Amino acid sequence: MQAFGKYKTTFENEYLTQQFIYINSDEEKITIDELEQMLKKKRKTVAGTMIFYNPAIAPIGYNMDSSLSEQGFEFDDNFHELKSVDVHHLIYQAMKKEYKGKLVEIKYLFNLNKENVQSTTIIDKFEIDLDRYTSEQLTIFDKELNYQDYLNIRLTGKFVFFGSGHKYDKEYTHTFTYSKNLAQQAQKLGKKVLYIHDRNYNEDECIEQAYFLDPIATGKARTTRAAAFKKMFSTNPAEVQRID
């Protein structure tokens, strides 16, 4: 498995704006040039898209201990190979049989490349920004770099998997609507919308409730969600999974 991404920066914020995972064998590696050639034939090479909450990933040779700018990273608008994180390994384990040789595009609700975003005041700033997004008001984070323009989003492949989370506090109404709009737009574009859910909502209710369990969990849920994710992609086409 290899992961590749493009980074951009404005002021003091850094964003992972494009990301792809290549489902390969342990012995097989591709170069950046080969990735670029594959992306010229997206309809044949990209199996689908996965949408998570936000990234916290460094390129190979760098880390998340400080900003990439402070480490001398050059924001050159080129793809860079990324360090592997837990979700990369899980995607590979789930897809290595049925999707070998394919690319998977990774998108995020928020492209801000920062750890522990959901436990900070940053989520309050996201909520403020989403309220301003369709207006002429200035946003805290860059509109184009941090957010998905759901009405104009480009989705490649047959499926869109949502693992963007399910716990939106009542005051975060704009974040909730944003997540739901992305899923509904994926349906309108004819994509098969995939997710993991539990008994709190049935399959028909999940999109309306933006209820998409993250496949990476802690505690007792860790094994259960990982197993559901692997089961989802054990077949082609993949299927929505419910856990009890």
Q: Is 196 left (phi over 0), alpha (psi -120 to 50) or beta?
A: beta
Q: What is the dihedral of CA 220, 236, 178, 3, to 10 degrees?
A: 80
Neighbours of 80 (CB within 10 A): 20
Higher pLDDT, 167 or 37: 37
Are 4 and 22 in contact by the 8 Å Cβ rule? The answer is yes
Q: What is the pLDDT of residues 135-159, one digit of tens each?
A: 889 999 999 999 999 999 999 999 9
Taking only the tens place, the pLDDT of each residue in 26-70 is: 678 999 999 999 999 999 999 999 999 999 999 999 999 999 999
Three-class secondary structure of residue 139 per DSSP:
coil
* pLDDT tens track for 175-224: 999 999 999 999 999 999 999 999 999 998 999 999 999 999 989 899 99
Cα(141)–Cα(127) distance, integer angstroms: 11
- Determine the 3-state secondary structure of 27 from DSSP: coil
Q: Which residues contact 84 (CB under 8 A, 6 or more apart)?
A: 1, 3
What is the distance between the alpha carbons of residues 233 and 173, in angstroms, rounded to a whole number?
A: 31
Please tell me the pTM assigned to this model: 0.95
